[in-house]
Amino acid sequence: MRAQVIVVIRFSYVAEAGFKISTQGISAIRKMLYAPERLARRFRLFEALTLPSLLAQSDPDFTVAVLIGDDFPEDARARLVRLISPLQDTHLVALPPHNNYKATKLAIEACQRREATHVISVRLDDDDALGRDCIAAQKHIAPQMAALDPTDTPAVICFNNGLFLELSEQGNRLYGVIEKLPLGIGMGMIAPVGARPTIFSTDHRRVHTRWNCYTEARTPRFIRTVHRDNDSDALSSGEKPKYSDTELDQILAQYFPVTRADLMALKP
């Protein structure tokens, strides 16, 4: 088995559905996503959290597919190209509006290596962060999960332990969570090259109802931001460990390339 990890990031991609305002049509979605103030906020979080977490991975051998609309603003596109250039294997994939499954499937296929026998497709939003060893953990766990089913059926690996960062004008709040349902950040699906399913085939909260699913709940492996632009309800579904500030500092130092001071200083 030669498994290629492909992290898919939808950066303000104009999809046909999946937004609260989708019933208003593509023009309304495009207007919302490309609003200069919103794009500025997305870039701010991407630069502060998402990108540093990718650059800090303990295993740098992975692919990143950044999915954008084919009409993404030119100045924003140039800025994005500059930002992702330090990553080892990154592809900017520009597509017209599709549903999210089709668009992400096309992005994954555009990045596949010829020598790969399997793909580990991984979800990551442009305003969240992975723990330093998330890619390494996917590479270690996913092949073992795949081997449990002799029919080469796709399997899902997710991480339920991490931090929520609430951004607010009244002051930011950082706290620990251990989710009771699968969380999308860093979630991956291992499947043979050419298989139809990817990690975007099923709602991330319901993957365990369709696929064999391994949930790792002991190691902090994500930071999720909660802010005005969240399109889905950013609610914790599980336990909230009572970490002290000292414990939060220790978690961040061990697993993430940011400090608590960095997170508290982020603007909403």
Q: What is the largest CA-CA distance in the chain?
A: 53
**What's CA 85's distance to the chain center, in Å?**
18
List the end-to-end C-alpha distance of the chain, in Å, as a whole number.
44
**CA–CA separation, 19 and 92 (whole Å):** 22
As beta bridge partners, residue 16 has: none
Q: Is 185 helix (H, G, I), strand (E, B) or coil?
A: coil
Could you give the angle at the alpha carbon of 130 between the alpha carbons of 136 and 235, nearest 5°? 135
Inter-CA distances, 201 with 15, 100, 105, 204, Å? 15, 9, 9, 9
Q: Are strands 161-166 and 118-123 parallel, antiparallel or unpaired?
A: unpaired
Per-residue pLDDT of the chain (268 residues; tens, 9 = 90+): 999 999 999 999 999 877 777 778 899 999 999 999 999 999 999 999 999 999 999 999 999 999 999 999 999 999 999 999 999 999 999 999 999 999 999 999 999 999 999 999 999 999 999 999 999 999 999 999 999 988 889 999 999 999 999 999 999 999 999 999 999 999 999 999 999 999 999 998 899 999 999 999 999 999 999 998 887 666 778 899 999 999 999 999 999 999 999 999 999 8
36-45 vs 26-33: helix axis angle to the nearest 10? 60
**CA–CA separation, 217 and 161 (whole Å):** 5
Inter-CA distances, 198 with 3, 85, 104, 234, 252, Å? 14, 26, 8, 23, 30
Residue 39: which H helix or E strand, with range?
Answer: helix 36-45
For 131-143, give the DSSP string. -TTHHHHHHHHHH
As beta bridge partners, residue 167 has: none
Domains of the chain as residue ranges with CATH:
3-265 (3.90.550)
**CA–CA separation, 151 and 35 (whole Å):** 47
Q: Which amino acid, 169?
A: E
**Model pTM score:** 0.96
